[in-house]
Amino acid sequence: MKKISIKDLNLYYRDFQALKDISLNIDAKKVTALIGPSGCGKSTFLRSLNRMNDLIDGVRVEGRVELENHDIYHKDVDVVTLRSRIGMVFQKPNPFPKSIYENVAYGPKRHGIKNRKQLDEIVEKSLKKAALWDEVQDRLNKSALGLSGGQQQRLCIARALAMEPEVLLMDEPTSALDPIATAKIEELITELKKEYTIVIVTHSMQQAARISDETAFFLMGELVEMDQTQRVFTTPRDQRTEDYVTGRFG
């Protein structure tokens, strides 16, 4: 079942075209990996799915991005609501300089949940889902900045999950982490896809191969190929994909 459907998406930074005629579908409750060399547009593409590109001056978007058949770029769409349905985790762990509790409660609080008991429940549930609860349950009121990088990133995932999003966008979430922390996040992603639709940008082809169901290969703003991950890595249709996944360039 498709969750997000992208049709003829073109994106420009002023005169520079960063995305060219991208059309693809993202399946519900699957992990879709976006791979490609630096500057190929995969992060830009990811950020166009929750309209984070809106924040950048001079960005122009053409085409349609449909979340369950509703165009998210339609003028009546409330970006705030959209972003509470589509959560995001960034490349560098970016917890707020607040307590662990306040980090997770941040989103729900901004959406009007004030009841302490309800917030407690959300915080606990989200931290458990992010596999962080056992490590932090007795220091919820301590600063989030005291956590290790891997813990911080899982906290950011918990913070996103607290909004009960339907889709989780991850922009190279493990590129700043050591192998052990990376393994934990990957395990977590595999667990999370039972409930969430996940789109992940990654530089590591092994990571894409390990955790994703579908893989899309981007090159110079174009979508070269998208297919089941296994196919992309074993029998790619396009020569450029084969060159990239076999490490001949990029």
Partner 1 sequence: MNKKIEEGVVFSILSFITMIVVIPTLLIIGYILLKGIGTINWEFLTAMPRQGMRAGGIYPAIIGTLYLVIGTILFALPLGVGSGIYLTEYAKQGMLSRIIRLAILNLAGVPSVVYGLFGLGLFVLFLGFGSSILAGSLTLACLILPIVITASEEALKSVPISYREASLALGASKWQTIQNVVLPHAMPGILTGAILGIGRAAGETAPILLTVAAFFLPRLPKSLFDQVMALPYHLYIISTQVPNMPEEIKYGTALVLLGIVGLFYMIATSIRIKFKISNRA
* Least distance CB 226 / partner 1 (angstroms): 25
* Least distance CB 7 / partner 1 (angstroms): 24
Q: Which stretch binds partner 1 (CB under 8 A): 62-70, 156-164, 207-215, 242-250?
A: 156-164
Of residues 83 and 231, the one with the C-beta less far from partner 1: 83
Of residues 12 and 96, the one with the C-beta less far from partner 1: 96
Can you tell me which residue has the tokens 């450029």? 240
Of residues 94 and 230, the one with the C-beta less far from partner 1: 94
Of residues 10-69, those binding partner 1 (CB under 8 A): 50, 52, 55, 57
- Amino acid letter, 238: D
173 binds partner 1 (CB under 8 A): no
Candidates 65, 163, 177, 219; binder of partner 1 (CB under 8 A) is: 163
Give 202's contacts (C-beta < 8 A, 6+ positions apart).
33, 34, 35, 172, 174, 175, 208
CA 240 to chain centre: 25
Of residues 181-240, those binding partner 1 (CB under 8 A): none
Q: Which stretch binds partner 1 (CB under 8 A): 140-148, 178-186, 188-196, 210-218?
A: 140-148
Question: How far apart are the C-alpha atoms of 201 and 128, rounded to whole Å?
Answer: 24
159 binds partner 1 (CB under 8 A): yes
Structure tokens belonging to residue 31: 């992990």
Per rule CB under 8 A, count of chain residues that contact partner 1: 30
Question: How far apart are the C-alpha atoms of 160 and 130, rounded to whole Å?
Answer: 10
In the stretch 94-113, what mask flags binding to partner 1 with x, by CB under 8 A?
xxxxxx------xx--xx--
Question: How far apart are the C-alpha atoms of 19 and 245, rounded to whole Å?
Answer: 21
Question: How far apart are the C-alpha atoms of 217 and 68, rounded to whole Å?
Answer: 23
Of residues 166 and 225, the one with the C-beta less far from partner 1: 166
Candidates 15, 80, 134, 249; binder of partner 1 (CB under 8 A) is: 80
**Phi then psi dihedrals of residue 96, to 5 deg:** -70, 150
- Amino acid letter, 45: F
Question: How far apart are the C-alpha atoms of 212 and 192, rounded to whole Å?
Answer: 12
Question: How far apart are the C-alpha atoms of 13 and 17, rounded to whole Å?
Answer: 6
CA 164 to chain centre: 14
Site residues, partner 1 (CB under 8 A): 50, 52, 55, 57, 80-84, 87-88, 90, 92, 94-99, 106-107, 110-111, 142-143, 145, 156, 159-160, 163
